[in-house]
């Protein structure tokens, strides 16, 4: 019997089906609003052209928004730099009529300039104003340059595959070198590796290169095109990943709380992620510009109750570290040891496996000067140590 899909396409489908089944929730925020005062009036003065080279239209030297329309081409990086230099007060880029790109390299260069500047990208609903708003293809890629990405319900976002004239993207299996420039682009725009791969493989399966697929609201949420949704009184959500707690809203101020101790602050824990060293119930206070709130408490109960015993069997030195080496003495442990090193934002830096009965030396030459968490696990115990790299 013949396969319904050629093998490369089948592998591509498998690569993102599991991701699609995972629920995604866009964080709520009271600051999820674009700076667009006067946009409606200004749009009435513009003639938008989706087929002309990309333009940045700005009402005045003091305006806080710019309107983008047109095709991304070889002139776009220079046009983008001129816009950045001439309009330093702009904070919000309004994507109106952008049909795509005919120069992927130029798109990457221009998007990186925008990303470095820290703009908010905003896509109105298709009929929110008297001129339609939409993005497609390479313009959808450029939209990811926003540090904050705001999309109205009812917005029109188009995606499709690519073709080199002979082969389409789905002709190549997952992990092929031809896919990597696109995946690396999304990583450069701030998506995680997993999210970058998921969105890319979704787009090339959504429609062939000569067609277009308009994303549904579910897909916009699923693939994290939005970074936030406006709420007057936001609800903040905590996730637990191997006993590292993270709140879903980035770019705010944080203070982790011990719910079992009268909601007292956990000393020094002011990052988006927090790794408790003892079992208990924890929450986080999130402070934005204009509101604040406290998440629900989440329980941590899988840390070993006899961590003190593990603590007596291992030694870590020196601490602080100032000679590019950490020594972890596990010579008294007669079992397998798993070591995980994370920064204070919960990002995995390194993992090490050992059979015990040895002194493990960890090279920190490539570590930034900061505080790190070493999670040391055996079959039934866990110890978390803080290490300062100087």
| CA separation for the pair 146, 36 (Å, rounded) | 15
CATH number of the domain enclosing 271? 2.60.40.10
Confidence of residue 310 (pLDDT cuts 50, 70, 90): low
Q: Tell me: do 92 and 32 sit in the same domain.
A: yes
CATH number of the domain enclosing 212? 3.90.226
| CA separation for the pair 183, 387 (Å, rounded) | 33
Q: Which residues are bridge partners to 98 per DSSP?
A: 135
Q: Please write the tens of the pLDDT for every residue from 73-122.
A: 999 999 999 999 999 999 999 999 999 999 989 999 999 999 999 999 99
Q: Tell me: do 215 and 106 sit in the same domain.
A: yes
CATH number of the domain enclosing 346? 2.60.40.3080
Q: Tell me: do 376 and 267 sit in the same domain.
A: no
Contact between 331 and 314 (Cβ < 8 Å) = no
Is residue 2 included in any domain, yes or no? no
How many domains does the structure of the chain reveal?
Answer: 3
Domain boundary, last residue among 229, 259, 292: 229
Among 61-75, 161-175, 282-296, 360-374, which stretch is predicted with the lowest mean pLDDT?
360-374
Is residue 61 included in any domain, yes or no? yes
Is residue 262 included in any domain, yes or no? yes
Q: Tell me: do 203 and 240 sit in the same domain.
A: no
Tokens of 371: 């505080």
Is residue 373 included in any domain, yes or no? yes
Q: Tell me: do 169 and 213 sit in the same domain.
A: yes
Phi, psi of 370 (to 5 degrees): -170, -175
Tokens of 359: 């002194």
Contact between 256 and 269 (Cβ < 8 Å) = yes
pTM: 0.72
Q: Tell me: do 164 and 60 sit in the same domain.
A: yes
Is residue 110 included in any domain, yes or no? yes
Q: Please write the tens of the pLDDT for every residue from 231-276.
A: 988 999 999 988 889 998 988 999 999 999 889 999 889 999 998 8
Q: Please write the tens of the pLDDT for every residue from 339-364.
A: 899 887 778 888 999 888 889 999 98
Domain boundary, last residue among 229, 245, 263: 229
Domain residues for the domain of 256 are: 235-300
């Amino acid at each position: 019997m013949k396969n319904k899909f050629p093998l490369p396409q089948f592998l591509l489908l498998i690569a993102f089906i599991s991701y699609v089944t995972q629920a995604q929730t866009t964080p709520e925020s009271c600051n999820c609003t674009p700076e667009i005062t006067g946009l409606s009036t200004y749009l009435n003065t513009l003639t938008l052209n989706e087929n002309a080279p990309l333009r940045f239209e700005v009402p005045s030297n003091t305006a806080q928004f710019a309107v983008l329309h047109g095709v991304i081409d070889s002139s776009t990086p220079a046009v983008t730099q001129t816009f950045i230099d001439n309009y330093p007060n702009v904070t919000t880029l309004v994507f109106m009529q952008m049909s795509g790109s005919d120069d992927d390299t130029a798109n990457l260069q221009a998007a990186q300039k925008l990303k470095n500047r820290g703009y908010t990208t905003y896509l109105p609903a298709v009929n929110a104003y008297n001129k339609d708003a939409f993005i497609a293809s390479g313009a959808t890629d450029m939209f990811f340059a926003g540090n904050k990405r705001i999309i109205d319900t009812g917005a029109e976002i188009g995606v499709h595959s690519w073709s080199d004239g002979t082969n389409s993207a789905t002709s190549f299996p997952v992990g092929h070198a031809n896919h990597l420039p696109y995946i690396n682009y999304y990583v450069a725009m701030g998506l995680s590796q997993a999210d970058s791969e998921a969105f890319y493989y979704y787009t090339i399966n959504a429609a062939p290169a000569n067609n277009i697929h308009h994303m549904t609201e579910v897909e916009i949420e699923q693939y994290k095109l939005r970074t936030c949704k406006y709420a007057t009184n936001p609800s903040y959500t905590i996730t637990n990943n191997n006993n590292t707690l993270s709140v879903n809203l980035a770019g705010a101020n944080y203070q982790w709380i011990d719910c079992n101790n009268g909601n007292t602050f956990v000393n020094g824990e002011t990052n988006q992620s927090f790794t408790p060293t003892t079992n208990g119930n924890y929450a986080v206070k999130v402070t934005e510009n204009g509101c604040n709130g406290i998440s629900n408490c989440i329980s941590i109960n899988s840390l070993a109750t006899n961590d003190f015993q593990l603590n007596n069997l291992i030694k870590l030195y020196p601490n602080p570290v100032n000679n590019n080496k950490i020594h972890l003495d596990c010579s008294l442990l007669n079992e397998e040891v798993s070591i995980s090193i994370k920064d204070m934002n919960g990002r995995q830096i390194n993992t090490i496996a050992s059979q015990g009965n040895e002194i493990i030396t960890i090279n920190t030459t490539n570590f930034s000067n900061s505080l790190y968490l070493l999670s040391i696990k055996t079959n039934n115990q866990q110890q978390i140590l803080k290490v300062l790299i100087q």
